[in-house]
Each structure stands twice: as C-alpha cells, then as structure tokens.
Structure 1
C-alpha cells in the first residue's frame, strides 16, 4: 500500500450553531476599516512614489480535491477477528480509500462493548473502539453513524460511541448529545476549499423514530424522517451559504431493492436545491444507481462495503470517488469491487468493465435522469 498523503486540515463540527469564519473573510473585513478616518487610497504609495489605488491582494489559491465514498461498514460475524489487527482489517480496498484527499463511509454499528440491545430488533450490531482504528488505518476520515444501527445498544452504547469518536482521528457525524450536534456537519479544509459533511438517516423503524432521533434535550441521530426533513434541509442550506462544498451522506432505500424509494428523488432534489454538492448513501445492501444531476452528484446506494454478506448481489460493492471544485462535482469515478471474506476486493480487467456497466445500466432500469458527466 502506498503511504497515505498527509490529511487535510479537519475542523471540528459546527456545534450549537457557531459559525466558522474563513480567515480570508476576516482579513478582508479588517482591511476595509480605517480607524484614523483617513483616505485609504491616498495612503498607499506606488513603487515610484505616486499615490494610487491599492492593488487588491490575490485570493487564496484553491484547487479541486477528491472524496472517496464507501458503503455500509460493520464488524460482526466473520469481520470480528479482523479487528485483531486493525492496521489490515479493511483489506486491499484501503489503497483506493487512501488515494483520495478525504474518505467517508457509513459506520453501521454502535461503537461500544457495553450497553443494552434495543428491544424488538432482530439484528443489533456493535464493535469495539478498534473498529475506528481500522477505519483510520484504511484512510477513512469521516463516518456517518446516522443509520438504523447507530443506537442498537441504547443510551449507554450511544455515550460510548460518542466518547470513542472523540478519542479517534475518525470524525463521526449524524449523531450527538442533542440535535444541534447531530445535525451539525464536520467541516474539512483541503486545497484551499472547505467542505461540510453531513450524516442523516432516512430509515428508522416507526417505533424507534421518537426514541432515536436527536432533540434539543436528548441525544440521538440526525434524521430526515417526517418533520425532521426540513431540519436537515435547513442545515444544508446554512452550510452551503458558508462553505464551498456540501456533502450529505444519507441512510436510505429499501433492503434488497436496487431502485430508490419513490420519495428519494424528491429528497435528493430538495437537498441539491438547498446547496448540496453531493448526496450519497446506502442501506439497501445492494448497489443502486448514481450519476450527475446538473453539476451535483447523487448516488442512491453504495451497497455493502465491509460486511458479512459475500454472495450474489449483496457482495457487489465499490468505491465512489468524486472530484469537487467550488460547489460543483467535476468528475466521478465508480470503481467496482466484490466482497470476499467480508471486505471489498477491487475487480480487475474485463470483470471490472462488466461490473461497471451493470451498475451504469441501473439508471435506465430505475428510470432516473442521472448522467455520466456534469451539465
């Protein structure tokens, strides 16, 4: 594996509505003030000694950057022994993940060794803190825990997940001690641009929505269910007004179905209209279509990623790498993989071409107006 490039500056999430002001804006504001009341233009001398208007300082140079996305990650069953060596737990896919400037996945598990299993759930997932070590070693920078397994081990498991996240270089989003935290993005700065990265769940059992959704006073997840959809859209709009790029990682879809649920395209439209540069996600355990919507990008389902399913459609996986530039996605690459022994192994040669074409064909099969390139 090639050494991972130095990580971009990662900023803390926007907590309690506090704004992160770009240094360039601060300097611009300061330079416009003249406490002496003098004429700023006259006070600036040219190299020849003549008085002239100041030459504006050049804006900070920025360059495009990449984010790699992977689907659902958990460490139950055959995955558990892999955590004995977190440095290699994610397998060969780590090379692709580490090649991007940033990497984001869905962490579909509580990060705890305690807690109480949620009542009435057939499947509950948890993993020790070494799961975050495994993500970090593979090059993952940000993980959304806003999904239908994030609170599988109750309030104690949630508290452990938050504490383990605080102690890890991997930033957790879509979860918090209250709604302000859960609906806050993680903000990263890379190549002179900022990107706000959200996590939210569009999938929760009806009897768990109230208990699992973060409120002003209770911990929980960010959700796009019911009235909380507007909370998410508003958060995206506010982030888009302040940052160069916005990513929303959604837990959405119907298990086993390649095509999105009927309401999903409308939700994607709403988020893009609010300023989302990219909307990606998973949950269905199978791949779903992805493509450009104008100069934004929408992917309806990245499938399983590090998961104990490794036969048939549930074994189809891959890495989506998007190139961002000042609020637009300029390039997209889907690199298909197949899950073997719980981890994704990249396809090669003709098999990779066939897997890629099968995925592209899903757009027409689902009747989605997504394209290969930006408008």
Structure 2
C-alpha cells in the first residue's frame, strides 16, 4: 500500500525505518568521535551557552481525519466517472480539508470477475473510481464489507491490483489473512496512525469463501473466531503506532440504532487500543459520540450512492481530531445526497439536521457524549 500522496494540501511524511534511523545516528556519532577527542571542546549540555538544546525528536501536533460512509458507482453514478476530477463534487472540499480522509468503498473495483450467484445486489466499478476518490481528497478506503467480493475471488484480486496502482490505500482485504488484517499506516504531523477495515456483516453462506485465510484471498471480518484476529492486530498496532482507527461494516439495514452486540464489540476494540471505531452498512444514519474516552460512530449512512430521497439520503462527514492516541474533538457536518453525491446543508437546515442526528443518541438509549469522559 502506498504511503505517498501527490496532493499538496495533505501533510504526509514517510516513516523512517528503525534500522535506517539507528544507522544514521550511529554514523553521526562515529564521525564526531573520529574528529574530536573526549576532552577537546567538550561542553556539558546546558552549560556555556544560552542557546536551547535541539530536540532529537520531531515535534508532533494534532491532526484530523474525515470519514464518509458507503461509496459505490452503479446506475446514475457511473457517468460521473467520465470526469473523475469532479465526480465527488461538492463534498470534495470538506474531505480535502482534513489531513486524511477515509470512506467505505462498497464495491469491487474490477471490470472482470463473475458475479456471485443468487445475490440480490452486486456492485462493481472501474479503476477510475479510485481516481475519483483520490482527486476528491480520499486517502484510504475499506473494502471489508458485504460487497467487497461481489465478483468473486478474481474480482477481489483485480480490486487489490487496482489499489496497488492507486494513491488510495485499500484496507480490510488481502491476498491472505496477514494482508487483510494489516492496517494502512500514515505519518501526519509527526504522529503515526494505523487505519483498519473489517466487516461484521456477511451472509452466513458466504463467510467461508469471503473470509481471508492463511493462504486464501478474502476480507477481514469479526465473524466468530476471526474477531480475535482483528483484536490482536489492533493490540499490535497500538503498541507500535501513536493512533489506531477501525472502520467497521456493521449494523442492520434500515435501522438507525446499532445491533445489541455493537456497543460491546466497540468496547472490545477500544480496549485493544483503538482511539476510534466508525462504520456503516445500515444505509441510514446512526448515532455517534464519545463512548468513554474513545469515539464511536455506529453508522455513517450512504455517501456516494444512488439513494436521494428520505432517510437513506441523509448523510454527512465526520471529522475527528487525534493526538497521541486520543480523540480531542469530533465534528459532524450533515449533508443530503443529491444526484448521487453529498451536498452539505447550510445555515438553519444544517443546524436542524445536526440536532436530529444528536437526538439519535437518546432515541437509541446509547450513553454517548459530546466530549471524552
């Protein structure tokens, strides 16, 4: 997965390998030792000068990640890919304003493969879909959902190949389980962040074929024993990186409130080390807020989708501010899908839509708050 990105408005710093850094420091120290004896010109730190000592650690600052919900390009959306540079207008500006942006790509990215038989809805899109996401400011997309393998293993392999050729990093799927449960890691403002994708939703008969195995392509899931695989991966990432985020495909289609097991699943992922758990699948908005010290959003709804009436057209952009494993702030910018893409609400309409979303917390009986505990 590519850590580089050509857009100038995103601050992206490549991580320096530990071994490379250690070698550089050793070389610098060796050079100094060869040119100066232990006593020549030696000045104890802090003495003999008013100049502050330079820090050997890069200063870090908080950074933001913008999240959008379900994205696909079937039906009326496909012609938008004729000009990828404008495909996600007018929501592109809000996505690009964040340091990173992530969405749920609910489609196979392939022009081949074979559609799964007897599945009511199968989605696919050409590689220009990734170009459109990139040009709209999206950096990461999860394909761990109930459409990631709509065109079979061949379609998934095409998706992964197209992802390798794109600046948009794909998570939640891989050529084997190790790859599927691996996060995309980015460095922003002197901090590292590991972003995972996984699905909690799969048709029972598809679980064996769609779940990534030791030598089998597939998706990262939380189904049955595979939940522990995700939790272990989150724990490992939290030990290595400053911040961890998990994008889950979860919920019940058409239901604003999460399934009964979802709060406990969120707590397990948070206890494993995640600072935020966000997701979707229901195609309608669900509540979001701070669950203890971490942030949980139970459903971001449709985002780029052919629904444009009623509750399925209500959407928005969630922007979280991270700092050293904590979510400092959360912002919800409501929008409504028009002609397949989100159009942000403004003024009084925005206030009403925001209040309706906030009220969902009480409606669903969830102990979510505006700020960390």
Q: Tell me if both proteins adopt one fold, taking TM over 0.5 as the criterion.
A: yes
Which residue, 29, 43, 46 being the options, matches 2:43? 46
Mapped to 2, the partners of 1:194 and 1:49 lie a distance apart of 31
Mapped to 2, the partners of 1:269 and 1:20 lie a distance apart of 32
Which residue, 136, 143, 146 being the options, matches 1:145? 143
Mapped to 2, the partners of 1:41 and 1:283 lie a distance apart of 65
The 1:223/1:344 distance shift into structure 2, 3 A limit, reads same
Which residue, 8, 11, 15 being the options, matches 1:8? 11
Query: 1:232 matched to which residue of 2?
Result: 230
Query: 1:119 matched to which residue of 2?
Result: 117
Conservation of the 8 A alpha-carbon contact between 1:295 and 1:330: no
Which residue, 175, 178, 191 being the options, matches 1:177? 175
Query: 2:204 matched to which residue of 1?
Result: 206
The 1:30/1:282 distance shift into structure 2, 3 A limit, reads farther
1:40-95: CA deviation from partner (whole Å, max 9, x where unpaired): 998982179989xxx78442100000000000000001101111111111120001
Mapped to 2, the partners of 1:182 and 1:292 lie a distance apart of 28
Conservation of the 8 A alpha-carbon contact between 1:10 and 1:187: no
Query: 1:362 matched to which residue of 2?
Result: 360
Deviation at 1:339, TM superposition (A): 0.3
Counterpart mapping for 1:293-332 below 5 A: 293-332=291-330
Conservation of the 8 A alpha-carbon contact between 2:103 and 2:141: yes
Conservation of the 8 A alpha-carbon contact between 2:256 and 2:285: yes
Mapped to 1, the partners of 2:213 and 2:240 lie a distance apart of 24
1:194-223: CA deviation from partner (whole Å, max 9, x where unpaired): 000000000000000010000101000000
Conservation of the 8 A alpha-carbon contact between 2:9 and 2:96: no
Counterpart of 1:147 in 2: which secondary structure?
coil
Deviation at 1:367, TM superposition (A): 1.0
Mapped to 1, the partners of 2:168 and 2:7 lie a distance apart of 15
1:282 and 2:285 matched: no
Mapped to 2, the partners of 1:355 and 1:191 lie a distance apart of 32
1:155 and 2:150 matched: no
1:270-307: CA deviation from partner (whole Å, max 9, x where unpaired): 01111101100000000000001233110000000000
Counterpart of 1:91 in 2: which secondary structure?
coil
Conservation of the 8 A alpha-carbon contact between 1:98 and 1:139: yes
Conservation of the 8 A alpha-carbon contact between 2:275 and 2:325: yes
Query: 1:252 matched to which residue of 2?
Result: 250
Query: 1:16 matched to which residue of 2?
Result: none
Which residue, 71, 84, 87 being the options, matches 1:86? 84
The 1:50/1:343 distance shift into structure 2, 3 A limit, reads closer
Query: 1:109 matched to which residue of 2?
Result: 107
Q: CA RMSD in A?
A: 2.9
Query: 2:3 matched to which residue of 1?
Result: none
Structure 2: runs of 5+ lacking an equivalent: 1-5
Conservation of the 8 A alpha-carbon contact between 1:285 and 1:304: yes
Mapped to 2, the partners of 1:92 and 1:274 lie a distance apart of 37
Mapped to 2, the partners of 1:59 and 1:31 lie a distance apart of 16
Conservation of the 8 A alpha-carbon contact between 2:258 and 2:298: yes
Deviation at 1:21, TM superposition (A): 3.9
Conservation of the 8 A alpha-carbon contact between 1:250 and 1:279: yes
The 1:134/1:32 distance shift into structure 2, 3 A limit, reads same
- Per the normalisation by structure 1, the TM-score is 0.90
